[in-house]
Amino acid sequence: MPQARLQPIDIPVQGMTCASCVGRVERAIAAVPGVAAANVNLAAERAHVELTPEGDAAAVAAAIRKAGYEPLDRQVELKIVGMTCASCVSRVEEALRSVPGVLDAQVNLATERAQVRILGGADASALMAAVAAAGYQAETVDPADGTDLAEREHAAREGEIKALKTSVAIAAAATLPLFLVEMGRHFIPGVHHWLAMSVGEQPWRLASFGLAALVLLGPGRRFFSKGVPTLLRRAPDMNSLVALGASAAFAYSAVATFAPALLPAGADHVYYEAAAVIVTLVLVGRLFEAQAKGRTGEAIKRLMTLQAKTARIVREGQEREVPIAEVVAGDIVVVRPGERLAVDGEVLDGASFVDESMITGEPVPIEKRPGDAVVGGTVNKSGAFRFRATKVGSQTMLAQIVRMVEAAQGSKLPIQALVDKVTGWFVPAVIAAALLTFAAWMILGPSPALAFALVNAVAVLIIACPCA
């Protein structure tokens, strides 16, 4: 398949937490018919996918969801001009659905509106180009459409950080008394005796059960909701390790609390603090990770703020302000003092000085006269001029710089590709090692063998989890 025929799309993916998630998403996408290549970046939370003409963006999104993650999509509303009958509707819908990244398209003849659901990284300007190629005209109804994805990603990330902060606070509040008392009993003389005399062993176990259950069923529920399904699909991830380790410690402790007769003599120990500390530490790690992710996209976000949202163009002898997505090559763009240039072009008439520091780093404004080239994103100073648009949309210099930064963030070193392959085997191998550890201690360990077997098997699961 020639490279020129491949259709690239970028998909924001929510829910990835580690390298094994990256490998799982990449394998899920690669298994979709029509996918030529898939590259997933954990820090940027994006999947770069190259589709052949037979590829289907909706199938890619469905594969990501089936793998347990969430691809971000958005709704775009277009005004369609030139439709006259039902066959026009079908033709426009077919043109829209052929655009890479389009999940669904519904066109209404009476209102002359098209509701298009596209993947987050898809370009809305490509929709209008497809409609134009089908013989109709399209324009965006919402001028803010171009910023919708960035806003949604920012909102989703802020929501994730806020939820994690709440979860960490609840988990820490419930874990701290467990940790302090249990560690005090082991390392501070007299604490064990004081606790037995003032509170009592069984009441403290019941209180510990309640605190640990709060941590696991509240903040820790996210590990079970993601880890258990992947475990049942025989594709365990890091969430599975945390869920197994915490639930094993909690379940054993619950048996020791409510039915100690089921355990061998001397084996009725409780490990509530271990289950709670596991979840709390991993949640703290997830919070740090989410905050770090939020900073990785700041460079691109700052670049995107340099782009003008609208442009003043001359059409049919009149000036009118239109969304930047509607500017086409050849349009005459009017620039007033203090305005940001919308697209790249060539000055036709007028003169001014333009601040091009965002491109060249030179703080002194550059004089522009007829025939000079201007760059979108730069700022006009005192004068006014008109220029002919030569590069628009994804062809502008600013758009190319953004793509280069995104490509740099999304690229992988060869060692990263090796790591992604290793993680596919790592989690199953750890679970197998934990089972083998449990069996070895049960068969060869000292009495009480069950307690030693459980503690060491859980230790293997937890130590192997790098998220902690």
Structure confidence by residue, pLDDT tens digits, 266-299: 777 888 988 899 899 989 988 887 787 676 666 6
Highest mean pLDDT pick, 99-113, 176-190, 206-220, 384-398: 206-220
CA 304-308-314 angle, 5° bins: 150
Lowest mean pLDDT: which of 64-73, 83-92, 364-373?
A: 83-92
Looking at residue 403, its amino acid is R
**Percent of the chain with pLDDT strictly greater than 90:** 22
Q: Name the band, by pLDDT with cuts 50, 70 and 90, for residue 143.
A: very low
Residue 468 pLDDT exceeds 50 = no
Please classify residue 349 by burial: count the beta carbons closer than 10 Å to its beta carbon, then call 0-12 exposed, 13-18 middle and 19+ buried.
Answer: exposed
Q: Please, what is the average pLDDT of the chain?
A: 82
Residue 354 pLDDT exceeds 90 = yes
Residue 441 pLDDT exceeds 70 = yes
Residue 300 pLDDT exceeds 70 = no
Q: Is 242 within 8 Å of 221 (Cβ atoms)?
A: no
At a CB cut-off of 8 Å and minimum separation 6, what does 420 contact? 19, 22, 23, 26
Residue closest to 275 by CA, chosen among 163, 168, 178, 169: 178
Mean of pLDDT values over 138-157: 62
Lowest mean pLDDT: which of 36-45, 235-244, 281-290, 419-428?
A: 419-428
Lowest mean pLDDT: which of 228-237, 371-380, 392-401?
A: 228-237
Q: What is the DSSP letter of 340?
A: B
Structure confidence by residue, pLDDT tens digits, 76-109: 888 888 776 666 788 888 889 888 888 888 888 7
pLDDT at 2: 45
Q: What's the residue count for the chain?
A: 468
Quick count: other Cβ atoms within 10 Å of Cβ 374? 24
Q: Name the band, by pLDDT with cuts 50, 70 and 90, for residue 146.
A: very low
Residue 121 pLDDT exceeds 70 = no
Mean of pLDDT values over 221-250: 82
pLDDT at 430: 83
At a CB cut-off of 8 Å and minimum separation 6, what does 39 contact? 26, 47, 48, 49, 410, 411, 412
pTM as predicted: 0.62
First to last CA, the chain: 44
pLDDT at 419: 62
pLDDT at 198: 78
Q: Peptide bond before 448: cis, by omega within 30 degrees of 0?
A: yes
pLDDT at 385: 93
Residue 454 pLDDT exceeds 60 = yes
| C-alpha to C-alpha distance for 74 and 10, rounded to whole angstroms | 13
